[in-house]
Each structure stands twice: as C-alpha cells, then as structure tokens.
A and B are shown apart, each in its own frame.
Chain A
Amino acid sequence: MTGWSEVEYTAVRELRGPLAIVDGVSGVGWDEFVRITLDSGELRYGLVLEVDRELAVVQVLEDTSGMDPAGVRVSFAGEPLRIPVGPDWLGRVCNGRGEPVDGGPPVFGERGAAVGGTPINPVRREPPSDPVLTGVGAVDGLTTLVRGQKLPVFSVAGLPHLELAAQIAAQSTVGGDPFSVVFAGMGLTHPDARFIRDVLEERSAAGELVLLLNTADDPVIERILTPRVALTVAEDLAFTGGRHVLVVMTDMTAYAEALREVSAARGEVPARRAYPGYLYSDLASLYERCGRIRGRKGSVTVLPVLTMPAGDITHPVPDLTGYITEGQIVLSRQTHALGVYPPVDALSSLSRLMRKGAGPGRTRPDHLDLAAQMLAALSRARQVRELADLVGQAALSPTDHRYLAFDEAFLHRFVDQPRDEARSLDRTLDTAWQVLLTLPRGQLAMLPPALLDAHGAEEEETADGERRASET
C-alpha cells in the first residue's frame, strides 16, 4: 500500500526509549510513516513525531531494543500510516498493528485510509437513535447502548470486565441489519488473549468480527496504534459498507499508559499524574470516531473498557473518558462479591442517549418507564439498606422489608445472568416486571396504571408501611 521513498537514511544520531532521532533528512514531513531496516534484515515501523531542520524524531512502534545506530537504515513513506480497508478484514485475527496472526495472508483492501482518521463534520452528524442489543440484561434494560454512541465500561482490577466485553462482542445484534464487531485488545495477557479468541471464535467464523490483539509483552507503542487501526477499519465497514459496527476497546488504561510513556520519553511537560496535557484531546480523537452520518447507512458505536487504577473514578483516564463519552457502565466490587455477574452498579451507571434509543418504536413502549421505576426503587432500596445497617432489620417497616426483597431479586434475578446467555430484550423487560412486582403497587408510581393492571400488580395492603415514605 505504502510507496516507500528510494532514499534510505543511515545517520541515526540517538536512540532513547521508543524514540530514534535520524539526522540529515530532507523533505520528511510530520506524522509520516517510517520503515526501519535492521542489519539482520528485520523490519520495524514508526511514526515521525517531530521534524526539526535536518533531524527527524521517530517513534518506533516495535521499540528500539536491539537496534544499533550504526546498523539501521531508515526510509520514509511520504504519507501518514495508511492501512487497507474493506470487508476483507472480517473474520481476521491480527496483532495490534493489523498484521495477521491467524496464519492467513496479509489483509487486502481496494482502498486505503489513514489511521489517524478525519473528524466528522458536526453538521453532517445524525443524532443517534435505535439500540444495539447486547443480550446483557443490566445493560439493555437500564443503560441501553444506542447506535452511534460511545459508552465506556468503568471497572476495577479483578472484576470480570473482560468477560463482559467479550460477551457483549460475541452476542450483540441490531435486529435484521448487517452488524459487525471490531474488538481491539490492548495490553492483554496471553491467557486473556486466548480467552477472547475462544469466546469470539464463532462470531469470527461467521465473518462478523475483526479481532486486533496487542498483548502485554507486545511493544508498548504498538498500543497507540491498535485503537486507531480498529476505528479506521470500523469507519469503512460502517460508512462505506453500510454496516452497524460495534468497536470494543479494552483496556484504555493500558493505552493511556503507553501514551504517557512516549510523552515522558520526549521530555514533554507532564500534567495530572504525569499524563500528557493532551490526554483529553487524544482520547477524544478515538472516542469521537463514533456516530452516524446523514444520508449514509451504518453506524459506529464505541464501547471502551477501562480499569480505574485503585478504583479511583477521578483518575485522569476515567475522568477524561467520562467527559467525552455519553454515559458510563460502572462495575462494582460489592456486587461482584455477592457472586453476581455482570457486577454492574446500576445506580452509578448511565446511558445519556438511552432516551433516544429505547422506548416506543425502538425497543418496547414500557421500557423507559420500567427503567426509571427500577432505578428509583433501587435508590430507595439502597437507603433502606443503609438504614437497616444502622438500626437493624427489626426496626424496619413492612414496606422497607419489601424493598430489601426487591434488592435481592434485582441482583439475583435481573442483573445476574450466565456468561453465555444472550438474553432477549423481552425476557429482560419481563424479568424487570417480575422483580418490580415484588414491591407493593403503591411504590410503583412511575408505571402507568394500565400496565400495572396488565401485569397483575398486587393491590395496596395496609397504609402502615407508607408512613415513612413521605418523610424521606
């Protein structure tokens, strides 16, 4: 794809961390793609980070280990890194740079596209609507993922976020329209990478999946490329190929660390927690590559997964992510400790676009009311739980006891599901009804009476339990 220049430079002046500084270059532009030939014949690639008169600072994707300044030849592509794009990517398994690791030939495509991407014109954007159904009850029911949305999963080390990401990647659908998944793994351990390949094998075989795996022992710098390759492939599948594409990117914290490493090697002024000052813009340049475009079929939906270091939601990576994305799905240690999978903390989770992707004509007419009632009841249940811890269960009113029962049912019947269950939306919403009906009818004020009748909500028993309701 890339037409390499004839000129090869041999004057490498400095090697430091992932950086190589090449002397005596001319006509080399910023952000050009670079090929480095080692004495052994090994090829490495890089990007131009800076050109200063005759010096070019090159970020080597595979790292500089084993490189001898006297024994390398450097040539420049005259253009930014481009990759072939097209449907040939479907069904392939590649490394973080997009080179096949499935034993197949290199991926070909009729067209090429720069991995940096081009911003979508905001006036040409079509506001997102219609859901992506993940088959995960807690997500579909309460934080519906909408086509064209970016919705991250915030997790903590030790929680099954990878399992959840894989499950969503394996079983998401958009009804009858063509649908594909691009899965970008960054900094995965080998067992994790193996696990992902196994779980997604079926979808891959069906030609609906592009898998990019950068493992923890792969070059750190490659991680900076992985999400960009994934999004470039996805954009083409969506906006040229007319597919709805879900891009799952995990783990964004590993990505941000790679970014920090390069920034430190360049001697840039560090901002919060030594991450570079441009972390927000850099993350936005990834997350913003989702959406829909007027007059084109297809959509790109982005589901980044990140682990909050030490569970701190104000850490720069989750914090800046939260500012860019349209909501978040938060996993909690407490829920996990109760043996519930997926351990979604429904009260901290939010899908800002849910109103546009769920409800009449999109999912089911009762969906939004159900979700609102569920969250309201859950919030009350949590207060009751705190009260019970304080004053003991014996002091609770009968209604309070019903809320505790609701909380149990919510966790174990609504949220909890097997890791291989693709729960239908109807099943999810019907379960939501069953769980809500553990509460007396008087507590379900957000649901229309007609629906309550239809689902056989139990009539008010005594008013006794209601006394505290008006006090809180």
Chain B
Amino acid sequence: MVAVSGSAEASGRFVHRAAPGDSCRVLRVAGPLVEMEYVGDTAMYDLVSLGEAGIPGEVVAISGSVVTVQSYEYTGGLAPGDVARPQGAPLSASLGPGLLGGVFDGLLRPLSGSGDWLAPGAAQGVAEERAWLFVPAVSEGDRVHEGGVLGQIRDGGPVPLRVLVPPGAGGVVERVAPEGRYRQEAVVAAVSGTEVRIGTTWPVRRPRPVRERGGEREALATGQRVIDLLFPVARGGTVAVPGGFGTGKTMLLQQIAKWCDADVIVYVGCGERGNEMADVIAELSALEDPRGGGRLADRTVTIANTSNMPMMAREASIYTGATVAEYFRDMDLDVVVIADSTSRWAEALREFASRTGALPAEEGYPAGLASAIAAFYERAGAVTTLGGGRGSVTVIGAVSPPGGDLTEPVTAHTERFVRCLWSLDRDLAYARHYPAVSWAGSFSRDAAALAARHAAAGDPAWSARRDRIASVLAEADRLADLVDLIGITALPDQERVSVLAGRLVREGVLRQSALSAHDAYCGPDKAAALAEAVLAVVGRCRELVASGLPAATVETVDFGPVLRAGEEVGPHDAEGVRARREAMLARLGELRGPGVSHRAVAGRDVSDRDWLE
C-alpha cells in the first residue's frame, strides 16, 4: 500500500502534469523547508521526491522561479544542487480494505512491515500483498451512477465493504470481474471507460464529495455516562476535548475508541507518546469487539505519528485520517475519527510557518490557523453519499493547551468551530474523578436535536433528566463556594441536601472507572437508570428533610447501594440498578419509620434522635 505514489489515478481524475523523471534542482534546505527551482508543470500541493533517497515533500508555495516544499521526512544530507522530482499529483492516500486492522504512519504507509527503527524512506514501498473476495453486484450493460455499488468485499473484516463507482464517473458498466479474489490494485470493473480497482486513491487535502450534507441527527453512544447523559454528540458531529497534561485526555479518547457504537474507528495518534501508542495498539488488538466477534482492531485504522516522528508527516496525518474516514463513510458506514492531539498538529503548522518566514499572528501561530482548524472539523458530517446511502464521520479532537491555559489560540479557535466541547478539569482529575469532564466548562450544541431523537426512540424523559442533573450540579457548585467559606453546618437544611445531591450525582452517575469490567462501558439503559436512581434518592432526601428530619442525619446515611451500582451491575443491567434504587429508598424509608436503625445514626448524640416520632 504505497501511499506516496505519484502515478495518475485510475479514475483519470488527476492529470499527470510532469512525467516522472522530469527533474529540477534543490536550492535551499533548512530542516523540513526545502526550496527548489520552478521548471514548469508544478502545481500547489503536488508531491515532490527530493534527492536520490526520494524523500517525499509537498509544494506549499510557488514564487517566481522558486518552489517551496515541505518535506515529510528528515532531510539530513540533502544539498543545494541535488535532484528534485515533481510527481505531478498531490499527496494521496491509498485506500482499500487492507486499512482495517492496520497501523500506518502519517502518510498512510504501513508501519507493521517496517523495522524497529524508522529511518527515512524505510516505510516506503511496502506493498499490500493480500487479496480480497470480490462479489459483483452489477452486470455488464447496467447503468450506474457515481457512488453506486459495483460489488462487495466479503472478507474485509467485521464491517461490510464495497467497491464503488468513483466520484465523477458513471455510465454503462462495460466490464465487471467475476466473483473471486483480487489484490488491491486489480481492476475489477470498467464504467464508461473508467477502470475501477479494489482499492482507490484520493488526495488527502480534498474532502471526498457527497450528494448532500446534514439530515436527521442521531446520537453516537459513547458508553461514558457524563457524555451520553449531559454532553451528547450526534453522529457526524464534532467534538473538542481540551485538557492539560494529566487530566486523562488520552484515557477518555481510548475509552471512546473502544466502546462507541461506530462501525469504523480511525485513531490518529498525532505527535503523542510512543509508549502510549504502543499501548493503544496492544489494547485494541487484545480487546474483543463489543459488537460481537473478532478483535476490536479489525474495524480500527490506527495512524501513528509519535512526537519524535517527522514533524511534517504529523501535519499531514490528520488529513490522512479524515480521508480514510470519508472512504468508509462512502460505503454507508458510521465512522469516528479520534485525533490526539490537534495541538501537536497546530504546532507543526507553526513550526513550518516560522521557517517560511510567514508573519506570525497569536503566539507565533500563522494567521491561517483558525481557518485551518475550521476546515479540518468541516470534514465531519452526517451525509447522503453519492450513492444515495447514509454515512457519517464524527471528529473528536483532543486539544492540549499549554500550561492548561484555555485562552490559548488553538483551544480558543477550536471551541468556536465544534458542536461539542468536553473540557477536562484538572481539579477533578486531581481528585481522581474520571472521566474528568467538567460540567461547568463543557457544552453540547447537539443536545436539543438529540432530545427529540431520544423522545422518538422511546425515551421521552431524556431531556428532562439531563436538565435535572445539570441543575443539581449547578446548585451544588454554587453552594460549594459558600461551604468553603462558612462550613457545611452553617447552611440551611435544604441547601445541605443540595450539596449532598451534588456529591451523589458526581460519584454515583458521572464518575466511571475505566478499569472496571462492569463500568468501563455503560449502556444507555443503565445510564438512564442510574441517573433516575440518584435523582429519586435525592428527591426522597428532600422529602425527609422537608418533613423535619435534620439534614445532618440524612448525610450520615450510607448511600453505597446507589454509589456502587455503576461498578456492581453489568453494563446493560438497568434492572440491577433499579433493584439497588429500591433498596436505597427503603433504607431511607427506615429513617422515618419506628425503631430507627442505629446503623443510620450510629455515633450521634441521643439529642440528635429527638426528632424521631
């Protein structure tokens, strides 16, 4: 699967401008910035092969007789006068069924076949050897349109894969291959003069076309309660996850990669830790697919560009990831792209801008940063594909604000362009409250639309539940400041219950252990049941206090049955949660009845019991 191929695309979409071998000379080298002569037939964003080693680079500016190229690899030894060969085509990703289960670098070159060390050019030229079972869906003479299904790939993994009529093509099927096994580059059909192969290529910076964007919005279930209950994301939505170091950003994203109900996950490790990447790869391979059968890795594409791998390939990696996602989306699949972290991508933009001498805007970032971020997130969307089916790409991007400063440019711009913000809070992480999604600093602009969907799908209470949880948390937060100042005992009893309610919601509903077999993933029914349980318990506490029971007594009750329900019952066991809720309500009921339990009020003065009867 050689991504960096300059050959003309099978569909004939890319005009081959310069024959391979037409060469020019390198003029200047400063790290990843290379300047070369302009000899005609070179367009912006075309690939260039630099030096005898053939280091891949991309044209980023053409000024007079000088072409500026950003190199994707280490340019050590490259000298003025060395040969440079424009490839006549933009950087393209080679897309095919072999992507699933694979690990690739930022240019989508497979890492699995490379050695222990990634020397420049080491990942080049590793061909995809596998053959796939192709089953034709059309006959010769049929009329097809762009995006139409020409055939299925039957053994491409747990998700159904298709061979489609390329965008821009269409007409009469002149030829179609019989059922059989074919390699990625094999031609399996011809449509009005256009040859169609098992795999295809696509320039990574250009979004793949769709018939129509938008339409009905459905929730992406992530299995994380704080998200599904409070800050839900729609399929085709965009999310930014800002968080300083140590706030559990990567952990949250890995949880979503493992458990969300998308068909395909594209995990882009963009400038992150090598050991962490190794961990993600090992875990995905070890995990059984929660949707049944096989390994989770079989429907995951991992793009690994660790922080010490070449900087400019990091810049390309998020576009590569988006292109891979769009390829699967066009087969009517729901795809989630997880980019960890977009800040490292922005830093690559900054580094290169600084080398080209571009005028810096905020903190040295180029002035185009905001539009680059916006354009990237725009590649998400729920769409009607060219073939008329429905697919979606959801983009979840981590943001690593330096010094935890949420006003820095990348965070500040990103939050303007996304539908959801899951802001991670250092204090929550410090208190070992995971996932540390701050309820005060996060938002979901999809919530209203999704509430209607939930209502239509048989959960009309979804919206009201969300509002109640949010208001409990907001009230508790407001009082927390007061408690710090004057102490809990100085609050009126109903306010003390509000503080207690905040704790119960935080610990019983929002907190979730990624290491627990039962709690790492939480089904929507169980999430709803847990929220209902805690809200019911809070309601009963309020009643008790309203009926004259001191808040101090309610506070001493062991709320274990609801607080531990998340860990104790299975991920879909809403009944188990309801049983615990009943047990808890009964325990609270005892407070009012005769023979009040010593358990509940153990250690209190006798005078404390004066309220009884």
- A289-308 contact mask (Cβ, 8 Å, vs B): 1 or 0: 11101101000000000000
Does B80 contact A54, Cβ atoms closer than 8 Å?
A: yes
| A269 interface hit (Cβ, 8 Å) | yes
Q: Which residues of A contact B351 (CB under 8 A)?
A: 277-278, 281
B30 adjacent to A30 (CB under 8 Å): yes
Contact between B111 and A271, CB atoms less than 8 A apart: no
Chain A hits for B347, CB < 8 A = 277-278, 280-281
List A residues 454-469 near B (Cβ within 8 Å): 462-464, 466-467
Q: With A30-B79, A49-B30, A280-B307 in contact, do A324 and B555 touch (Cβ < 8 Å)?
A: no
Assess the A463–B78 pair: CB atoms within 8 A: no
**A95, CB-defined interface residue at 8 Å:** no
Per-residue interface assignment for chain B, residues 81 to 95, with 1 indicating a CB less than 8 Å from any chain A CB and 0 otherwise: 110000000000000
Segment 477-493 of B: residues with Cβ below 8 Å from A: 488
Query: In the complex where A280-B307, A322-B246 touch, is A121 in contact with B115 (Cβ < 8 A)?
Result: yes
Decide yes or no whether A288 CB sits under 8 A from chain B.
yes
Q: Which of chain A's residues have a CB closer than 8 A to the CB of B344?
A: 280
- Contact at A121–B275, with CB atoms within 8 Å? no
- Asked if B269 is an interface residue, CB under 8 A from chain A, the answer is yes
A263-292 vs B, CB cutoff 8 Å, 1 = contact: the mask equals: 000001111100011101100110011110
Q: Is A119 an interface residue (CB 8 A)?
A: yes
Are A79 and B77 in contact (CB-based, < 8 A)?
yes
Q: Contact partner of A288 among B103, B114, B307, B348, CB < 8 A?
A: B307
Which of B27, B103, B556 touches A123 (beta carbons < 8 Å)?
B103
Q: CB-CB < 8 A to A116: which residues of B? A: 74, 76
Contact of A314 with B405 at beta-carbon distance under 8 Å, contacts A326-B273, A466-B603 already known: yes
Inter-chain CA distance A290–B311, complex, in Å, is 19
A residues less than 8 Å from B274 (CB atoms)? 119-120, 122, 125, 288, 291
Are A319 and B80 in contact, CB atoms less than 8 angstroms apart?
no
Q: Which residues of B355-384 have CB atoms within 8 Å of chain A's CB atoms? A: 355, 357, 360, 363-364
For the complex, give the distance between the alpha carbons of A276 and B364 in Å.
9
Q: Chain B residues near A124 (CB, 8 Å)?
A: 114-116
A316 CA to B117 CA, complexed, in Å? 29
A149 within 8 A of B: yes
Cβ contact within 8 Å between B273 and A324: yes
A86 interface residue, CB < 8 Å from B? Answer: no
Scan A102-130; emit 1 where CB is below 8 A from any B CB, else 0.
00000000000010111111111111100
A286 nearest CB across to chain B (Å): 8
Known: A118-B119, A122-B277, A280-B347. A51 touches B308 (CB 8 A): no
- Write out the residue numbers on chain B whose beta carbons fall within 8 Å of the beta carbon of A26: 79-81
Set of chain A residues within 8 Å of B364, measured between Cβ atoms:
269-272, 277
B548 within 8 A of A: no
B275, A278: Cβ atoms closer than 8 Å: no
Q: How many residues of A contact B (CB 8 A)?
A: 70
Query: In the complex, what distance in Å separates the CA atom of A117 from the CA atom of B282?
Result: 25
Given the complex of chains A and B, what is the CA–CA distance between A127 and B285 in angstroms? Answer: 13
Note all chain B residues with C-beta closer than 8 A to A51: 28-30, 79-80
> What's the nearest-Cβ distance from chain A to residue B457, in Å?
39
Q: Once the chains bind, are B103 and A31 in contact (CB under 8 Å)?
A: no
* Chain A at the B interface: SS class: loop
Q: Kindly state the separation between the CA atoms of A148 and B275 in the bound complex, as whole angstroms.
A: 8
How far, in angstroms, from A278 to B307 measured CA to CA in the complex?
11
CB of B400 within 8 A of chain A? yes
B603-A467 in contact (CB<8A): yes
State whether A52 and B28 are in contact (beta carbons under 8 Å apart), knowing that A121-B116, A123-B281, A277-B364 are contacts in the complex: yes
Query: In B71-128, which residues have CB < 8 Å from any A CB?
Result: 74-82, 103, 111-112, 114-119
Picked from A30, A121, A319, the residue with its CB within 8 Å of the CB of B117 is: A121
Residues of B within 8 A of A123 (CB): 103, 111-112, 114, 278, 281, 304
* Most B CB within 10 A of own CB, among A270, A323, A350: A323
Interface string of B300-314 (1 = CB under 8 A from A): 000010111101000
In angstroms, how far is the closest chain A Cβ from the Cβ of B488?
Answer: 6
The residue that B118 contacts in the complex, of A119, A290, A464, with Cβ under 8 A, is A119
A80 within 8 A of B: yes
Measured CA separation A53–B28 after assembly (Å)? 6
Q: Quick check: A50 and B28 within 8 Å, CB to CB?
A: yes
Residues of A with C-beta under 8 A to B269: 122
Please tell me if A470 contacts chain B, counting CB pairs below 8 Å: yes
A119 and B602 contact, CB distance less than 8 A = no
Give chain B nearest CB distance to A299 CB in angstroms: 11
Would you give the 0/1 interface string for B321-358, flagging 1 where the beta carbon is closer than 8 Å to chain A? Answer: 00000000000000000000000100110110111010
Any chain B CB within 8 A of the CB of A353?
yes
11 contacts between A and B (CB under 8 A): A29-B82, A32-B76, A50-B30, A51-B80, A117-B308, A122-B278, A122-B309, A149-B275, A269-B364, A271-B350, A272-B402
Kindly list 8 other residue pairs between chains A and B, CB separation below 8 angstroms, not including A54-B80, A314-B404.
A29-B76, A51-B79, A118-B117, A122-B274, A122-B277, A284-B271, A284-B306, A471-B488
9 closest residue pairs by CB, A with B: A314-B403, A284-B307, A288-B308, A125-B278, A29-B77, A31-B76, A271-B364, A50-B30, A463-B603
Task: Show the binding face of A for B, using Cβ within 8 Å.
Answer: 26-32, 49-54, 78-80, 114, 116-128, 148-149, 239, 268-272, 276-278, 280-281, 284-285, 288-291, 293-294, 296, 314-316, 319-320, 322-324, 326, 350, 353, 462-464, 466-467, 470-471
